Chains A and B, each alone.
Chain A
């Protein structure tokens, strides 16, 4: 009775551990402990009076009812929590029986020894705990890494071989009794399987750490970029206000001296400055506004005229990163190209929709036909191939301009 009670308590603890790993409590922990206690008592009483067919069915069904009553979660979580239950019951029954059997074959005099029985059950409990711990940790890791479902078989196979080791025919123990090397081989095989699972777990863990490290690095880079952008924006705002204050002071001084020619000149200059800067950073596409704003000082300093006609601005078919790479790389290239032109530095960015295609065109002044730098070509190629897009670049000598065009064919996908 005591042994059965201990075994049932252990089983419920194990089941609760698995459930807590994949599901959430519906009610309070105290209520959960109370229900667990009642279920342990019912199972122990049923088990103690010998197992009939309906009692066996009840014993199998009770924990399932327990899961559904006490826990909440998604279907896959329930599947992960419930799936090991029949195996645990089976392995517990079989392994305790086999361990006792194995030891009794080695030393028949100890077969009736109660201490030996407790020892064997303890070994079984340790074994089950080890297997369940491996199952839960690996499953959690798999869930975290979102590995393909087929990968679950990698853990199943060594566990299956361990289970087979405990399920061999009884004549096998007679062989073990006669030959010690066979027993050693079995133990080594068992240990090696455990080591394989352990190593596999470690490999997966290290891959996960690598991925996390990469994510942290990416987040750091994004944060640094964000700070840089904020810093640029602050500098732009500061410079703009500084220039405006300077112009206002000149205007006030000219007005005080009733010098209306200077007032007119300065007012026109202020008008040009304000409109030019505002029109450059204001387009119909937020990401383009950010990218232009980031470079506005350079654009202003080198007298580059940037115009945008964004008739179509829904670029959600590209990820935010892809949009950023696309526009910043193209702008970087066109700025480099217009800088080769001494007088006319002009960039026109256009987007529109042609039937079902999204078109992005950049027209810029240029002196010759050049190739895109390799790093820009590579990043563009990645986006183009992913989104079934076509790229074309054309230099028009008569107008001294280059036209870049990208056609996105599958904006709906």
Chain B
């Protein structure tokens, strides 16, 4: 994992590095940490990084404005905002970054919150590939739900496309065991990322589709959904 830190406070940079090293060592994960010196470097090289720690009060610059420029250059990089001042962090909410840390960063908070970002990061990269059904990789994060009918499973995607496959629902259940999917009905497997609201007998998805929520699966679905939210999605 490629991490870039952009902060002009040396003490804060050292503290953050220490937290990151402790986190990755404990979990035996590969990582590189780079320190950014100026905004030009950041904007020119941001695409080579997976995650940027961005301070809001930088010399005469504003981290939020830099964050907006990063979003224009690279939509996929994960940004975490840091600040010593809650007021600035609140202003940073408009950027909709992955996390907001108040300096000095509390170790427990860091481990919990950063852990959630890392989990999400890796889960979002998982995909399914079968040239018989699609020439492109199908990222699980783009699945809305899988419907099983007439001995076929239909993958409903975020881009409104539906892909028909001959795989059984059991196959998908096993395949997506470590992803964030849960069964809402004997014929429906729902991506918890896209649950809009839980109704009494249905699930409203982010695209306004309604998926049935059967009495038999309701409790297990609620539990899976709450676990998913507990992980900070």
A354 touches B229 (CB 8 A): yes
Interface-lining segment among B68-76, B85-93, B127-135, B157-165: B85-93
B93 touches A405 (CB 8 A): no
Taking a contact as CB atoms closer than 8 A, the residue among A348, A355, A392, A410 that contacts B195 in the complex is: A355
CA distance A370 to B226 in the complex (A): 18
Q: Residues of B within 8 Å of A, CB-based: how many?
A: 36
B109 touches A348 (CB 8 A): yes
CB contact list, A345-380 vs B, under 8 A:
346, 348, 354-357, 359, 361, 363, 365
A409 touches B108 (CB 8 A): no
CA distance A275 to B86 in the complex (A): 9
Query: Is A397 in contact with chain B by the CB < 8 A criterion?
Result: no
A357 touches B196 (CB 8 A): yes
Given contacts A284-B90, A284-B93, A348-B109, contact A355 B194 (CB under 8 A): yes
Query: Is B233 in contact with chain A by the CB < 8 A criterion?
Result: yes
Taking a contact as CB atoms closer than 8 A, the residue among B86, B108, B229, B230 that contacts A365 in the complex is: B108
B230 touches A405 (CB 8 A): yes
Query: Is B179 in contact with chain A by the CB < 8 A criterion?
Result: no
**A366 shortest CB reach to chain B, Å:** 11
Which A-chain residue is minimally distant from B204 (CB atoms)? A356
Given contacts A284-B93, A390-B222, contact A407 B229 (CB under 8 A): yes
Taking a contact as CB atoms closer than 8 A, the residue among B107, B109, B197 that contacts A356 in the complex is: B197
A279 touches B85 (CB 8 A): yes
Query: Is A311 in contact with chain B by the CB < 8 A criterion?
Result: yes
Taking a contact as CB atoms closer than 8 A, the residue among A307, A310, A355, A392 that contacts B109 in the complex is: A307
A311 touches B93 (CB 8 A): yes
Query: Is B84 in contact with chain A by the CB < 8 A criterion?
Result: yes
Query: Is A266 in contact with chain B by the CB < 8 A criterion?
Result: no
A346 touches B106 (CB 8 A): yes
A residues in contact with B100, CB < 8 Å: 309
Given contacts A284-B93, A390-B198, contact A354 B233 (CB under 8 A): yes
Given contacts A355-B197, A356-B197, contact A283 B86 (CB under 8 A): yes
Q: Is the interface of A mostly helix, strand, loop or mixed?
A: strand
Query: Is B180 in contact with chain A by the CB < 8 A criterion?
Result: no
B226 touches A356 (CB 8 A): no
CB contact list, A381-411 vs B, under 8 A:
388, 390, 392, 394, 399-401, 403, 405, 407, 409-410
B226 touches A390 (CB 8 A): yes
B residues in contact with A327, CB < 8 Å: none
0/1 string, A250-291, CB within 8 A of B gives 1: 000000000000000000000000010011001110000000
**B53 shortest CB reach to chain A, Å:** 16
B residues in contact with A309, CB < 8 Å: 89, 99-100
B residues in contact with A47, CB < 8 Å: none
A residues in contact with B199, CB < 8 Å: 409
Query: Is A305 in contact with chain B by the CB < 8 A criterion?
Result: yes
Taking a contact as CB atoms closer than 8 A, the residue among A282, A283, A401 that contacts B108 in the complex is: A401
**A138 shortest CB reach to chain B, Å:** 42
B residues in contact with A348, CB < 8 Å: 109, 112-113
CA distance A407 to B204 in the complex (A): 14
CA distance A372 to B134 in the complex (A): 50
Residues on A close to B: CB < 8 A? 275, 278-279, 282-284, 305, 307-311, 344, 346, 348, 354-357, 359, 361, 363, 365, 388, 390, 392, 394, 399-401, 403, 405, 407, 409-410
28 of the cross-chain contacts (CB-CB < 8 Å) are A279-B86, A279-B102, A282-B87, A309-B100, A344-B108, A346-B106, A346-B108, A346-B109, A348-B112, A348-B113, A354-B229, A354-B233, A355-B197, A355-B205, A361-B229, A361-B230, A363-B109, A388-B198, A392-B230, A394-B226, A394-B227, A399-B115, A401-B108, A405-B230, A407-B226, A407-B229, A409-B199, A410-B197
